[in-house]
Homo-oligomer: A and B are copies of this chain.
Amino acid sequence: MSHNTFGHLFRVTTWGESHGRALGCVVDGCPPGLKLDEAYVQAFLDKRKPGTSRFVTQRKEPDQVKILSGVFEDDRTDGQVTTGTPISMMIENVDQRSKDYSEIRDRYRPGHADYAYDQKYGVRDYRGGGRSSARETAARVAAGAVARRVLGEDVLIRGAVVQIGPHAIDRDAWDWDETAKNPFWCPDAAAAARWEDFLDETRKAGSSAGAVIEVQASGVPAGWGAPVYGKLDAELAGAMMSINAAKGVEIGAGFAAAAFSGEQNADEMRMGNEGVRFLSNNNGGVAGGISTGQDVVVRIAIKPTSSILTATQSVTRTGEEVDVRTKGRHDPCVGIRGVPVAEAMLACVLADAKLRHRGQVG
């Protein structure tokens, strides 16, 4: 990971600002011969796009992806396939409202990257947060679609929101089918109902809410990952923490494991019909930085949206004290639209691990 690129053999470079002409990514290192067209990528972008419910930003962005390079179709290939050359994808920004940005131009929004960017760069595209905007994650989702092709049908990647504000789901009620039935990717119908009320109140109060996302990958074989600094869980932690508003990452039992005894935490093993069978998954599918063949399980803490209507105390570029209220079309809970983003990051890290594994074991 460095600057705007992540991955080692499967490398993703993203570019673009919230209110610039366009944003996009270049995916380098994708093997040749994989089916890939715009419709396939678009389906993932549609899961993340704004305006799908009252609980996400009302910005109107079709987020239509164009594939500019790296795929080719001729009569010898089965539709459009990757060629092994860099895949450049672009999404044009459409709804860049010609509004007055003077307020956020010179005022630092608390919790935002405004102040830190100014301290580092001295100049920034402040419109909508510029490069620090979560709009950048659209490019990650496009890259994640390519990563899923690299992983193939055997690896299933899914995500859910497991907590909004102080309200966690009941894990015993987990039903993956539920995630498609409510606007929160919530696997627990009862929790989804509670969240609806809670977020309506939050919005009315001009406030925002945090969330916890959980993503899982099934079908990952044992052996992926590269100890000791390229550990699979280290790569996952870095990738997830790079998502806007992420403040924590845990694998498997995570922070709860700190309170366990050694016996409680041990993922005991027995022989099953298809080899080793684990009796629990506190390790979250990774031991010693290498996948164990169990489900890879990652949770990400997402802080409340920093852009809120309620006034908060801040300062200006020139050092005057001001109150800031952020009007505009913001997600009351960015964790919701974070689900397809976290899924994409999981896909990218695993695709990279899969390709690297081949080079590691000779």
Cα-based distance from A290 to B85 in the complex (angstroms): 13
Which of A177-185, A189-197, A255-263 lies on the face that meets chain B?
A255-263
Contact B110 A267 (CB under 8 A): yes
Given A85-B130, A120-B222, CB of A32 within 8 Å of CB of B361: yes
The contact of A261 among B72, B165, B284, B361, by CB within 8 Å, is B165
Q: Is A227 positioned at the interface, with any CB of B under 8 Å from its CB?
A: yes
Contact A108 B207 (CB under 8 A): no
In chain A between 1 and 55, which residues have their CB closer than 8 angstroms to a CB of chain B? Answer: 1-6, 8-9, 11, 13-17, 20-24, 26, 28-29, 31-34
Q: Is A310 positioned at the interface, with any CB of B under 8 Å from its CB?
A: yes
Given A72-B123, A269-B315, A287-B112, CB of A362 within 8 Å of CB of B34: yes
Contact A304 B262 (CB under 8 A): yes
Closest to A304 in B: B262
Q: A202 to chain B: which residues have CB within 8 Å? A: 261
Q: Is A159 positioned at the interface, with any CB of B under 8 Å from its CB?
A: no
Contact B261 A208 (CB under 8 A): yes
Cα-based distance from A111 to B23 in the complex (angstroms): 38
In chain A between 54 and 106, which residues have their CB closer than 8 angstroms to a CB of chain B? Answer: 66, 68-70, 72, 74, 76-77, 81, 83-88, 90, 105
Q: Is A340 positioned at the interface, with any CB of B under 8 Å from its CB?
A: no
The count of identical subunits is 4
Contact A119 B222 (CB under 8 A): yes
A79 to chain B, nearest CB (A): 12
The contact of A259 among B165, B263, B313, by CB within 8 Å, is B165
A259 to chain B, nearest CB (A): 4
The contact of A238 among B1, B211, B275, B276, by CB within 8 Å, is B1
Cα-based distance from A250 to B286 in the complex (angstroms): 19
User: What is the 8 Å Cβ interface bit string for chain A, positions 207-227, against chain B (1 contact, 0 not)?
Assistant: 111111000000001111111
Apart from A4-B86, A207-B263, A271-B321, 14 more pairs, CB < 8 Å: A1-B238, A3-B229, A21-B66, A26-B26, A32-B121, A69-B131, A72-B125, A84-B360, A110-B268, A113-B227, A117-B290, A119-B290, A231-B241, A238-B238
The 8 A-B residue pairs with the shortest CB-CB distance in the complex, in nearest-first order: A113-B288, A31-B362, A238-B238, A248-B250, A208-B262, A116-B290, A237-B241, A119-B222
